[in-house]
Amino acid sequence: MGVIKELLLLPLAPVRGTVWVVEQVAEEADRQLYDPAAIRRQLAELEMDHESGRLSDEERDQEEAVLLERLTIARERELERSEWGGR
């Protein structure tokens, strides 16, 4: 039955391949977006931009809030992975 199924699904192979590639790209983008080290670097750059006058207090506060929210989510995800035995 497996051979018949594969033959019937063969015309969909390009679509399945495209879907797989899109899923891989989305997963990598998500990993980068919620990488704690990258977020900390961005926070440091944000502070340097503020100190140099490139960002106002308000702009820094707004961007900092977004980065801190991402960092919170990243830490929650790490905690979930460690509770589930890593993944």
Q: Which amino acid is at 12?
A: L
Query: d(Cα 87, Cα 83) in Å, to the nearest integer?
Result: 10
Could you tell me which of 12, 44, 13, 32 has the C-alpha nearest to residue 74?
A: 32
Residue 10 lies in a domain: no
CB 74 within 8 A of CB 34: yes
Residue 3 lies in a domain: no
Structural domain containing residue 55: 15-83
Alpha-helical runs (H) found in the chain:
2-9, 13-33, 36-51, 57-83
Total domains in the chain come to: 1
pLDDT for 87 beyond 60: no
Q: What is the mean pLDDT of residues 6-20?
A: 79
Q: Which two tokens stand for residue 4?
A: 């018949």
Q: How confident is the model at residue 86 (pLDDT cuts 50, 70, 90)?
A: low
Per-residue pLDDT tens over the stretch 54-80 = 999 999 999 999 999 999 999 999 999
